[in-house]
Structure 1
Amino acid sequence: MTDTLTETTAPAAAGTAPPKPRRRLSDNVVGWLEALPLTLILLCFLVAPIIMIVIVSFWTATEFSIIPAFTFENYQYLFGSSVTYRVFLATFKYALITWACTLAIGFTVAYYLAFCIRSQTVQIAMFLLCTIPFWTSNIIRMISWIPFLGRNGIANQTLIDLGLIDQPLEWLLYSDFSVILAFVHLYTLFMVVPIFNTMMRIDKSLIEAAYDNGASGIQTLIHVIIPLTKPGIMIGTIFVITLVMGDFITVRFMSGSQKANVGRLISNDISLLQYPSAAATAVVLLLTVLIVIGILLRFVNIRKEL
């Protein structure tokens, strides 16, 4: 008994302190530390540039210099011009029509890949086939429509040879039609991917249960598939609307510089070295896009999909 007590108290008698238990960081602290690198990147490359754009939008500019003096002149000119409202209206028109076309095409393609093809290998192969056009530059894919839609292009020549028209159609190129066609070509994949991803997560037993209860194909589509696909549709909608409203090069090339959207307003101001005016237009466009996205998020909770 004495030997046991002596062995137990020996380290204390020798002056050695017992080891202190290690303190574990709380889960919240660990989470913040893990998110710190990405937070710093976002602050430096996203938040800081936006703040700088907002600051510059309140400056004024002459033909040769920028004056860092606080003024509302850029916003007063922007909201006081009827051109601004016409351009924003045209931008919304492009976004709305492009969204409707990409949704129709994207939903159809995603539905076919998810429910009509049973083999996963074939699904992956056909999905990769849809991405082949996106292996090239957007500008190359966009410009490729010009010889096809031109006055003496393939489309007009084919229609004339078939006897469907007597003279070339002028509205095929350098018009709203060509602009929207290019938008649909460029951004349809951004609608296909999230919808297809959502459809692949749908439990097939729900569809079988709908058929077992006497539902037709249309009823199953409306009451089962579409409600479960809403998060993917909303993500694709946000992608398409954001990209279309911020695009300017497509409108310039495919309209022959005859049409304009908000992106072209910003591009024109930058080419004239009117950076404060361009910054003010960019701020208004950013707020408009954020409002649209905020309205869309009120209808569907996409956090489940993310």
Structure 2
Amino acid sequence: MANSFMTPSASPMRARWRTHGMPGWAQATPYSLVFLLFFIIPLALIVAVSFWDATEYEMIPAFTGKNYMSIFEGCSNTAEMCVTFKTYLSTLKFSFLAWFFTLLIGFTVAYFVAFHVRSTAMQTLLFVLCTIPFWTSNVIRMISWMPLLGRNGLVNDALMHLGIVSQPVEWLLYSPFSVVLAFVHLFTVFMIVPIFNSMMRIDRSLIEAALDAGASGWQILWNVIIPLSRTGIIIGSIFVITIVMGDFVTIGVMGGQQIASVGKIIQVQTSYLQFPLAAANAVILLAVVLMIIWGLTRLVDIRKEL
């Protein structure tokens, strides 16, 4: 009875789908719509707004390039670096330091769990321990450093009690040190997970063959494990660098509102309703991040490796 209501063209199509599966375009359509709705359209709107004019009270949808000219104002002066370049240099510095320390810690932890922990149950337990900090807010985790690093915090009290310093150390909090420390605390897990995944895919027979050939532990690490883990290293690097480049909460809280970054500038501009100028800054930041990602993906074909 139900078959009588089928159109002649629909029945063969459904029969073909049952036999050969849904065609690629039908499977990709829902994901394409989500990508279009939540990425392409918002990005296009940001680019469009970046070319709008604005006053103190309203945005004017008229094409102008003065927002970009305002961002790079004074940058043609070779005698002194302009504010925009200084801000990007500061942001890149924090990104590099966060990437370096998260890579160092993340690779060490992933190597230990992958090659020195034999029990699958113990590996799972250690992974759960790594994710426990994510059960709380990033802001709460950052604030938890303040009783430790503050002028009257536990670290300064311990240093003074041991006689190492005669007065509290000022640079422990509200400084570049505290900002980098918070970044490493917050984002190391983004480096651990992809590196661990790459290490677990390494054929252990390759390590045994290297040992049989007389290779030392450092030679195996440098010539076998690191090259075969590069996909995870690149993916983790992309995660950390892109997050740090756009971050403004961590720099605002741990830097005491005294350290500039591109994300912080965009946040301040939006709070003052300077949306076209903030959109122009966002477009430039996106271009810089995409260039960094492009450079990283040149080191390894991620799609082929995955």
Q: TM-score, normalised by structure 2?
A: 0.91
User: Map of 1:182-261 to 2, 5 A cutoff?
Assistant: 182-261=182-261
Offset of 1:250 from its aligned partner? 0.6
Q: Which is higher, the Rg of structure 1 or of structure 2?
A: 1
Aligned to 2:277: 277
Aligned to 2:126: 126
* Per-residue deviation, residues 79-110 of structure 1 (Å, max 9, x unmatched): 22411111000000000010000000000000
* Per-residue deviation, residues 23-65 of structure 1 (Å, max 9, x unmatched): 6369797111011011101101111000000000000111111
User: Map of 1:1-306 to 2, 5 A cutoff?
Assistant: 22=12, 24=16, 30-81=23-74, 82-306=82-306
- Compared CA separation, residues 282 and 27, structure 1 to 2 (3 A): farther
The 1-side partners of 2:286 and 2:210 are apart by: 43
- Compared CA separation, residues 65 and 28, structure 1 to 2 (3 A): farther
Runs of 4+ in structure 1 deviating by more than 2 angstroms, as ranges, are 21-29
Offset of 1:22 from its aligned partner? 3.7
Offset of 1:148 from its aligned partner? 1.1
Q: What is the identity, as a one-letter code, of the residue corresponding to 2:154?
A: I
Offset of 1:161 from its aligned partner? 1.4
The 2-side partners of 1:78 and 1:51 are apart by: 20
Q: Is the 8 A contact 1:172 1:178 kept in 2?
A: yes
- Per the alignment, in what secondary structure is the counterpart of residue 23 of structure 2? helix
Offset of 1:122 from its aligned partner? 0.7
- Compared CA separation, residues 147 and 305, structure 1 to 2 (3 A): farther
Aligned to 1:17: none
Q: What is the identity, as a one-letter code, of the residue corresponding to 2:255?
A: S
Offset of 1:304 from its aligned partner? 3.6
Q: What is the identity, as a one-letter code, of the residue corresponding to 1:168?
A: P
The 2-side partners of 1:119 and 1:220 are apart by: 22
The 1-side partners of 2:92 and 2:223 are apart by: 30
- Per the alignment, in what secondary structure is the counterpart of residue 147 of structure 1? helix
* Per-residue deviation, residues 195-249 of structure 1 (Å, max 9, x unmatched): 0011011111111110110000000000000000000000000000000001001
- Per the alignment, in what secondary structure is the counterpart of residue 158 of structure 2? helix
The 1-side partners of 2:299 and 2:38 are apart by: 30
The 2-side partners of 1:89 and 1:153 are apart by: 31
Residue range with higher mean Cα deviation, 76-85 or 216-225: 76-85
- Compared CA separation, residues 210 and 162, structure 1 to 2 (3 A): same
Offset of 1:163 from its aligned partner? 1.7
Which 5+ residue runs of structure 2 have no aligned equivalent? 1-10, 75-81
Please report the RMSD computed on the Cα atoms of aligned residues, expressed in angstroms: 1.5
The 1-side partners of 2:187 and 2:198 are apart by: 18
Which 5+ residue runs of structure 1 have no aligned equivalent? 1-20
Offset of 1:285 from its aligned partner? 0.3
The 1-side partners of 2:141 and 2:223 are apart by: 38
The 1-side partners of 2:291 and 2:124 are apart by: 36
The 1-side partners of 2:22 and 2:118 are apart by: 46
The 2-side partners of 1:65 and 1:39 are apart by: 34
How many residues are aligned here?
Answer: 286
The 2-side partners of 1:44 and 1:27 are apart by: 30
